Amino acid sequence: MSVVIETKGLSKIYESSFRGQDVYALKELDLTVNSGEIFAYLGPNGSGKTTTIKMLLGLIFPTAGSIEILGLKDIASAKVRQNIGYLPEGAYYPDFLRGEEILRFYGQLYGLSGKKLETRISEVLEEVGMTHARRRMLRGYSKGMRQRIGLAQALISDPQILILDEPTTGLDPIARKEMRDILARLRDRGKTLMISSHELLEVELISDRAGILYQGEVQKIGTIDELLTDRDLTIEVESASEEVLGTLAEKGITPEDKIEGKLILRVPNDMNSYDALNICKEQQLNLVAVAPRRETLEELFVRTVGEAQNRSTT
C-alpha cells in the first residue's frame, strides 16, 4: 500500500500582533495517508483539521515542514491538482445553476470539454445518485442533494484522492446513510479518502484508519482495530438499589446507562466475565442480558481529548 499524502514536521503558526504570543494551529504534524484507504481525520473544533486540509490544498501556507502528495513536493502542480477532489464544509453553489451546469463549470477547470466532459458529468451524477435531478436548479435541491452535488464536483476529474470536510454534517439519517454508502463505494473502487468529521459514529462505520488531533498535535493515530482495543462486558439487570450499586462499584462494576427501567452495568476489561456474573448473582440481581462490548470511536475520542486537555492544564 503506497503513501499518497505525507506530511513531515508540518507546522502552522499564526503571529498574534496584539499579545505578542504566537498561536500554534498545527505543531510538527507527521501524517501519512495510504492509497485506497478511508482516513478519518478527527478532532474538536479548532484542533487544526481544516488548517491541515487547507495546507494540503495550497490555500494556506505552512510555517515549517513539508508536504508530499503522490510523491510530489510541488502540491500546486497540475498532476497533483488533477488527482485531488475537495469538498469543503458548507460550500455554496449558485442557486441559479442546474446540477449539470455546476459540474460542467468544474469539469472545464480540469480542461475537460465536449463529449468527454458530458460523459463524465453523467458518470459522476450516477455515482452520487443525482441523475434524476441533473436539470433541476440548485435552489430546488435539499441539503443532502447539495452535498451530493458537492461530492460530484470533487469527483469530476476522477481523482485518486478525495479530501472531504464534514461530508455528512447537517444531513438527515437517510441522507447520511446514502452518503456513507457512496463513500464506501468510492473506497472499494480504489479511491483514497481523507475525511474530516465530527460524526464519529458514521466515520467509525466506514474508516480504515483514524487520527485524533488536539491543539494542533496528533494524539492518536492508527487503524480502527488498533485504536479501539478496549473491549469489555456489559450486563443488563432488572434494577439495583443504591447499596448494591455501591458494593458493585467497589469491585469495579459501574452503572453505565438506564434504558426502559433496565440497568446497564459496565464490567472493566481486566475482570473475568464469570467473576462479574458471580458478583451480580451474589447481590441477587436479576440478569436480563450479557453482551461483549468494544469501545466506540466516540468514546475513544472523548477519552483522548479529555486526557490531552488534562495534560495541557497541568
Please give the distance of CA 98 from its chain centroid, rounded to a whole number.
29
Query: Which residue pairs from 303-307 have beta carbons closer than 8 angstroms and sit at least 24 positions apart in sequence?
Result: 304/212, 304/214, 304/219, 304/220, 305/43, 305/44, 305/212, 305/214, 305/219, 307/219
Query: Which residue pairs from 240-243 have beta carbons closer than 8 angstroms and sit at least 24 positions apart in sequence?
Result: 240/265, 240/283, 240/285
Sketch the per residue contact string, 142 through 161, with other proteins: x for CB under 8 A, - otherwise: --------x--xx--x----
**How many residues interact with other proteins (rule CB under 8 A)?**
34
Instruction: Please state whether beta strands 262-267 and 254-259 pair in parallel, antiparallel, or not at all (unpaired).
Output: antiparallel
Side chain identity, residue 122? S
Pick 79 or 189: Cβ nearer other proteins:
79
Window contacting other proteins (CB under 8 A); options: 3-11, 59-67, 214-222, 236-244 = 59-67
226-245 residues near other proteins, rule: CB under 8 A: none
Pick 98 or 293: Cβ nearer other proteins:
98
Pick from 3, 13, 28, 58 the residue near other proteins by CB under 8 A.
Answer: 58
Give least dist CB 121 to other proteins, A. 14
- For residue 286, how many other CB atoms are within 10 A of its CB? 11
Strand partners, 72: 69
Give least dist CB 96 to other proteins, A. 6
Q: φ, ψ for residue 279 (rounded to 5)?
A: -60, -45
Give least dist CB 277 to other proteins, A. 55
Q: Are 35 and 4 in contact (CB under 8 A)?
A: yes
Pick 86 or 214: Cβ nearer other proteins:
86
Give least dist CB 156 to other proteins, A. 9
**What whole-number distance in Å separates Cα of residue 159 and Cα of residue 193?**
10
Give least dist CB 92 to other proteins, A. 4
Is position 292 an interface residue for other proteins (rule: CB under 8 A)?
A: no
Pick 27 or 220: Cβ nearer other proteins:
27
Pick from 9, 111, 246, 306 the residue near other proteins by CB under 8 A.
Answer: 111
Pick 54 or 134: Cβ nearer other proteins:
54
Query: Which residue pairs from 22-27 have beta carbons closer than 8 angstroms and sit at least 24 positions apart in sequence?
Result: 24/215, 24/216, 25/51, 25/216, 26/51, 26/52, 26/55, 26/62, 26/216, 27/215, 27/216, 27/217
Pick from 5, 29, 49, 54 the residue near other proteins by CB under 8 A.
Answer: 54
Residue 60 DSSP class: S
Pick 118 or 295: Cβ nearer other proteins:
118
Is position 49 an interface residue for other proteins (rule: CB under 8 A)?
A: no
Pick 84 or 248: Cβ nearer other proteins:
84
**What whole-number distance in Å separates Cα of residue 156 and Cα of residue 108?**
10
Sketch the per residue contact string, 71 through 110, with other proteins: x for CB under 8 A, - otherwise: -----x-x--xx-xxxxxxxxxxx-xx-------xx-xxx
Instruction: Please state whether beta strands 38-42 and 64-69 pair in parallel, antiparallel, or not at all (unpaired).
Output: unpaired
Footprint of other proteins on this chain (CB under 8 A)?
Answer: 54, 57-61, 76, 78, 81-82, 84-94, 96-97, 105-106, 108-111, 150, 153-154, 157, 163
